[in-house]
Amino acid sequence: MNSTWKIKLFSGNSNAPLAREISEELGVTLGASHVSRFSDGEIWVEIGENVRGQDVFVMQSTSTPVNDHLMELLIMIDALKRASAGRITAVVPYYGYARQDRKVAPRTPISAKLCADLLAAAGVDRVMSMDLHAGQIQGFFDIPFDHLYSAPIMLEYLRDTLVAAFSPEDVVIVSPDTGGVERARAYAKRLGSQLAIVDKRRTGPNVAEVMNIIGEVKGKVAVLLDDMIDTAGTITQAAAAIADRGAVRLFALSTHAVLSGPALKRLGDSKIEKIIVTDTIPLGADAKGSPKFVVLSVAKLLAEGIRRIHNNDSVSSLFV
């Protein structure tokens, strides 16, 4: 990378508060841009400053409304490319369509791959994201992809709260489905706590049925760990099953608070005491007003990733 390049950070409309935090951490001014819509709904972007030959980062979670935010990101990348930016990195804290990472039936799409192709076609040179639902999505890109994890932030919170208040042996990390076992095992190992797995059978889209629990939860402080909470069916059914098996306290930990449909009601009605999430997706007003939610910022982590990419330093060493 040309040593004369300067960091330029721009943001779409999906998560402006996080973009401002990142800019403060980096000590740079958030780039001037204007993203609006024509009367027919078409998105229009104008970059308000010179980016020629600069190292440009565009911060945009492709969260609800997913298609609008994805198009904003693509059009911003195109505008920056046509303005002769030296390098463009898309910083996508939450990567939408990540659950569509494979064909689940005949004649169905692999939409996560399509999104990767769209980003590349728009002209992005590099992508940085956090806690992908499926790690293999990195392989959908033919350009560098930096996959960050919220684990350092989450583990610090758990050590300062639960592990400080209870013995590590009294805490059990619970994977609400078999797909998250590797993640839960890593947390349990770092904390010196136990591991449990909820074996569930999904009967339809956004519908989950708890079947069995592997591991000891009786008399334990249970922390249900998942990469995202969408409709909250999986995590609340898992919480009910864990409570029925004798867990004394229940907490939930998730990077991405998608919180669609009946999620807030389900979580409010559940026995989960606290739901710890990050700000990769901004919480809605109802969730912000709930005493159950604790929001941890990923701004420092993303800012450090941006700084290391700009300086050509190792990003993976963040997790050593």
How far apart are the C-alpha atoms of 93 and 265, rounded to whole Å?
A: 26
- Cβ(161)–Cβ(173) below 8 Å: no
Q: Which of 303, 292, 272 is nearest to 19 (CA)?
A: 303
Cα 263 to Cα 237, 258, 272, 273, distances in angstroms: 12, 9, 13, 15
Q: Is 200 a catalytic residue?
A: yes
Tell me, rounded to whole angstroms, the distance of Cα 229 from its chain centroid: 10
171-175/145-148 β-pairing: unpaired
Residue 247's contacts (CB-CB under 8 Å, 6 or more residues apart) are: 172, 217, 218, 219, 220, 221, 222
Please say whether the dihedral angle defined by the alpha carbons of residues 112, 116, 121 and 122, taken in this order, is positive or negative. positive
Name the active-site residue from 8, 113, 200, 220: 200
How far apart are the C-alpha atoms of 307 and 303, rounded to whole Å?
A: 6
How far apart are the C-alpha atoms of 55 and 39, rounded to whole Å?
A: 33
Residue 252's contacts (CB-CB under 8 Å, 6 or more residues apart) are: 223, 224, 225, 226, 229, 235, 239, 267, 272, 274, 275, 276
Q: Which residues are catalytic?
A: 200
